[in-house]
A and B are shown apart, each in its own frame.
Chain A
C-alpha cells in the first residue's frame, strides 16, 4: 500500500473529501459575522481575565460588571441583527465548516440565553443584601474561593475586603458555551460547548460566601455527576462516529435515512450497524437529559440548586435548561428524526416519570431552593412533552416555554436572595411563614411567580403549558397531556402551600427580614414579573417569534 493511499484513507475518514495528495493545508473559512454573538462573549470573557490580572482590586468590580453587561448587550444586538438579516428564516445556513448552525431555533435560544444571562448578572452584581463586612459591600460570593472555610486565611481575606470578581468572566465563558450548545451542528462541537459551559458552572457553584461547605459539596457532586454524563455523551459520540463515519449532524442523518451513497471502506465493518446507532443515540440522549435534569438523571439537581449561591442557581436553572433543551431538540430533529419511532417509547417514559417524579417529590420538600429544584424537574417533564410532539409546532412551543420558564425562574430565585436572617438567606420554608404580612409586595411578587409555575391562567406559565400540551396532543401524545395535567394538579399543591405559608400563617417573632435590594436585583425581579404578566395576557407576538423560529437548518 502506497503512502498516498494511506493518506487519502485518513482524510476521507476525517470527513474532508476534497483533499488531494500533495495539497497544502488550506485555512478553514469562518463566517465571523455569523458567529459574532459567541465571539463577542468569549472576547469579553478573555478581557475579563485580563482585568483580574491588571486592574487594581477596588476598580475591578465596576469594570467587570460594566464589561459583562456591555458584552451581553452587544451579543444580543448581534443576535437581533442576524435575525433581521433573515438568518432565522430563508438565509439560515451552517457556518464554520459545518460546525455551527445559524438558524431560527439557534438564534431564538441564543437571544433567550443572553437576556436571561443579563438579568442573572444583575443578581450576581447585587451588593446591598449582605451586611457590609469590615466596611466593604459584599455580594453572594466568597471573599477568596481558595481559602479553606473557617480558616485563618478566610478570615484574613474577609477582613481585607476581598471579593471574587472572577465570577463575571466565568459566567461569560459559561454563556459562550451555552450559545454554541444549541447551535452545534456536529457532535464534537456539541461536546466542546458542553464542557465550556459546564466547567465554569462547577466553579461558580463552589464560591458561595455563606454556607461554604454546602456550596463546595454541591460543586463536587455537580462536577462528578457532570463528568459522568460527559463520559456518556462522549462514548455515544464515539459509537455514532463508528456508525456513520462522520460527526456532522447532516452526515449522520443521511446514514440513518439510508440516503448515503458512498460507504467508507475503512468503516465498512461498522457503518450502518443499527446496534451502534441505537446505543450511541441513547448515550447521547442520556448526556443531554442529565443537563436538563430529567428523571432518572436528575439526582444532582436538588443538591446543587440548594448548595450553589442563589444567583448562580437562578442562572444555572434558567440558562442551562434553555441551552440543553435546544441541543436536545436539534439532535432529535436533525440527527435522529429517522429514529423517532424507536425513541418515542423511551422519551414517553422519561417524560412521564419526570413530570410525576418532580411533582410528587417536591411535595415533601422543606427548603425553598430544593422545592424550586424539584419544580424545575417537573417543568423539564412538561417541556419534554413538547419535544416529543415531533412537529414544527412542537419546536416552537418548546422555544416559547423555555423563554417563559427561564424568566420566571430567574425572578423567583432573585426573590429568594432577598429573604434573609442572621445566617444569610433564610431558605427553610418554615421561616417564610407570614411573609405576606411583613412584606406584602415581596410576597405578592413571589406568589405571581409561583402561580406562573403552577400554570394558572393569565400568567405566562399557563401560555407555555398550553402551547406544549397543545403541540403534544396534536402530535398524537394525548396520553402525555393527561399525565401532564395530573402532575400539574399535584404540583399546584406545593406551590399553593408556599402561598398559604406566606399569606395565611402568622409571622414568627424571630422570622427573617426582607432586605431592600439595589436597582440591579429590582430590575431582575421587575423583568420577571413583567414577562410573566405580558406573556400571560398577550403572548401572541412571542408565539409568532417562536413560530417563525421553528425550523432547523439541515
Chain B
C-alpha cells in the first residue's frame, strides 16, 4: 500500500489543531508559531500532491479506500481530480497568510484567567477548518463529503462568534450581540441547507444503494441505475440548495455580509476565500456528476439567479458604507460569476469558473487582509472615517490598490483570465446572459475605485495622521499574494493545465459539447 498522501495532508492540520489547543495558557506565542509551522508543513504536503498529480492521467488520483461504516454503505474514499487539486493547493496556500494576518487578533484583552485560552483556540479552530476543507475537496464518497460539509460549520461558528472584530462602531455589548447574531445566522442558514441535503443524501442512497461517487457515476453512465426524472430533480434540488446557501447565491446570501462584517478579517477571508469554495466546488463535483439531466433542466433558473447575484451584489457593494461589508457584497457578485460559469455547461465556462475560484480566493484574501490591516490601525470599519491614507502609508495604499484592481479583474492580474473565460463560455451558450454579466464588471470598477478614492486619496482625515505603514509581518502577508496574482495573471498555465482535463470529464458527464462557432456551423 502506498503512502496515504491525501489523508496525511488533511490529518496534519487536524493533529496540529489539537496540539495547538493543548499549548498551556501562558505560552500564547508558542501556540502561534506552532500553528504557522503546521500550516506551512501542510502547504508542503499540498505541494507534493500538486506535483504528483498528473493532469492527463486518471480522473481521480492518489486514491484511498477503506471500509468505514458498512451498515450505512459508507466508505472512507479519497481521490483528487484537477479541480480538487487546484482548490486544495489554494486552501493550503491561504491558511499560512490567514494565520499570519490574524497574529494578534485573538490576543486576550486581559490575561487574568489562567484557564481561558482564546489564542490557542483561535489558531486551533483555523487549522481544524483547514483539515475539514482539504478533506472535503478530496472526498469521493458522498456521505464522507456530507459529514465534512456539515462538521466544518462548528469551528467556523466558533471563529465568527467567539473572536469578533475589535473595530466596532457601537459599544462592546452591542458588538457582542451583533457578533453572536452573525454567528447564529451563519450556522442556521448553513445547517438548514445541510439538513435539506441530508434528506437528499438519504434519498440518493435509497435510489442508488451506494455512496461512492465513482460507483454511482459509473452505474448512471452504463445505464444500470435508472432514476425517475422527478426523483433526480428532487435530489438535485436538495443538493443544490445546500451548495447555494454555502456559495452563497442570491437569495440565500444574506448571512455572508453579517458573518464577514462581524468576524475578524482573517476569519472573513477564511469564510469567503476557502470555506465558501466548497459550495461551488460541490456544485461541479456532485450536482453535475450525479444529476446531469436535472442540472440541465435547472440551468435556466440557476443562470438567472447567478445573474441576479452578480448585479445585485455589485449594486449593494456600491452602496456600502462599511469596508468589510462592501467586500462581502463584492464576493456575492463574484460567486455569481462562478455559478454562471459552472452552469453555462461549456468547457471554457467551467474552466473559467474553477480558475475563478482560485483567483477569487487570492484576490479577496489580498484585498480583505490589507483592508484588515487598515481597519486595525484606525479602529473603524466605516469608509467615511478614512481619507488620504496614501499620503501617510503609501505601501499600505499601494497593496490595497493592487488587491482592489485584482478584484475588478484588471487585465494582467489573475482574476481577469478567469472572468474572461467565464464570459466567453457563457456568451457562446447564452449570449444575453453574457451581456448582462458584463454589467457586473463595470460595477466592480465603480465600487473598487470609489472605495480607493474615498479612503486613500484626498486630504488626510482626522485620526489618519500618524498611521504607520505596513510592518514586516503584514508585508509578508501582502507581497506574496500580490506576486501570485501577477504571476497567474500573466501565466495561468500551471492551474489551467490541471483544471482542463477535469472539466472535460465533467462535460462528458453532462453529455454536453461546446457550441460550435457560427461560422463553422454554417459550412
Contact = CB atoms under 8 A, between A and B. Distances in A.
A543 B73 CA distance: 12
Contacts of B173: 506
Contact of A457 (B150, B161, B180, B188): B150
A543 B74 CA distance: 13
B116 A505 contact: no
Given A489-B195, A540-B71, A500 B203 contact: no
Interface string A480-523: 01101110110011001100100111100000000000000000
Given A462-B150, A489-B195, 16 more contacts: A440-B115, A440-B117, A457-B148, A457-B150, A466-B72, A466-B198, A466-B202, A467-B71, A485-B198, A488-B198, A489-B191, A492-B188, A492-B192, A496-B184, A543-B72, A544-B71
Give the size range of A's interface with the partner: 35 or more
B315 interface: no
B191 A492 contact: yes
B267 to A, nearest CB: 14
Contacts of A451: 154
A437 interface: yes
B44 interface: no
Contacts of B153: 456
A506 B179 CA distance: 12
A458 interface: yes
A539 B67 CA distance: 12
A540 B199 contact: no
Contact of A505 (B71, B150, B154, B180): B180
B432 interface: no
A437 B184 contact: no
22 contacts: A451-B154, A457-B146, A457-B150, A457-B151, A458-B147, A466-B198, A469-B199, A470-B202, A470-B206, A473-B202, A474-B206, A485-B199, A486-B195, A489-B191, A489-B195, A492-B191, A503-B161, A504-B183, A538-B68, A539-B69, A539-B71, A543-B69
A65 to B, nearest CB: 32
B327 interface: no
Contacts of B203: 473, 478, 481
Contacts of A481: 199, 202-203
Contacts of B154: 451, 456
Q: List the 5 closest A-B pairs by CB distance, nearest first.
A: A457-B147, A543-B71, A504-B180, A485-B195, A489-B192
Q: What does DSSP make chain B's interface, helix, strand, loop or mixed?
A: helix
A487 to B, nearest CB: 9
Contact of B202 (A469, A489, A503, A547): A469
B150 A456 contact: yes
Contacts of A493: 184, 188
Interface string B389-417: 00000000000000000000000000000
Contacts of B191: 454, 489, 492, 496
Contacts of B71: 467, 539-540, 543-544, 547
B222 interface: no
Contacts of A503: 158, 161-162
Contacts of B176: 504-506
B406 to A, nearest CB: 34
Interface in B117-159: 117, 146-148, 150-151, 153-154, 157-158
A135 to B, nearest CB: 32
B147 A500 contact: no
B231 to A, nearest CB: 10
A500 B184 contact: yes
B196 interface: yes
Contact of A467 (B70, B72, B148, B158): B72
Contacts of A505: 176, 180
B516 interface: no
Q: Which of B153, B179, B199 has the most CB of A within 10 A?
A: B199
Interface string B405-445: 00000000000000000000000000000000000000000
